[in-house]
Amino acid sequence: MAEAILERREQKHENPMRSIKIEKVVVNICPGKPGDTLEKAKQVLTILTDMKPAERRAKKTIKEFGIRKREAIAAIVTLRGRKAEEFLSRAFNAIGRKIKSSSFQDGVFSFGVKEHIQFPGVKYDPKIGVFGMDVCVKLCRPGFRVMYRRRRRNKVGSSHRITKEETISFVREKFGVEVV
């Protein structure tokens, strides 16, 4: 009797605080050189995301790679909300809807796209060339804001955090991705 009541409650009222959503998707292209190649990488990000990319600068000088400190070497875009979901579905199509299980952590997963021309609807342009990119996704639940807010910052309990298994099941259900 008690089991039937609990089962009905779960079906009727799932706890909205346990729902998982995409907090942000970060797309990064790092050609490693300033100038023309970085501008082309920015152009690729603009084509794929319809947003203006930000530049990222080198933290230290590396003579072997010809990089100087504070030199712009990468372009990055952060997507949230509906744009993030649309971009993710296209990115999963580009990689064949398969991700390694080692790419997942607690509430976070990352994968790479070898060539931007793998995206559906994007054609090769000899003026731009071909760029690969990293896609990093962070998931959250309602209530995670208490970790980041300025006033009365607090910890999120261990039972409310997103585990690796929950992250994998979210991606499987939401996007139909096969985890290998």
Number of domains in the chain: 1
CATH of the domain at 126: 3.30.1440.10
CA angle 37, 77, 171 (to 5 degrees): 120
pLDDT at 2: 61
- Range of 24's domain? 20-179
Q: Report if residue 3 sits inside a domain.
A: no
pLDDT at 7: 66
Q: Report if residue 145 sits inside a domain.
A: yes
Alpha helices in 13-81 (DSSP H): 36-49
Q: Report if residue 105 sits inside a domain.
A: yes
Residue 150: count of CB within 10 angstroms of its CB = 5
pLDDT at 65: 84
Q: Report if residue 8 sits inside a domain.
A: no
pLDDT at 15: 84
Q: Report if residue 38 sits inside a domain.
A: yes
Question: The pTM is what?
Answer: 0.86
Residues of the chain with confidence (pLDDT) below 50: none
pLDDT at 57: 93
Q: Report if residue 159 sits inside a domain.
A: yes
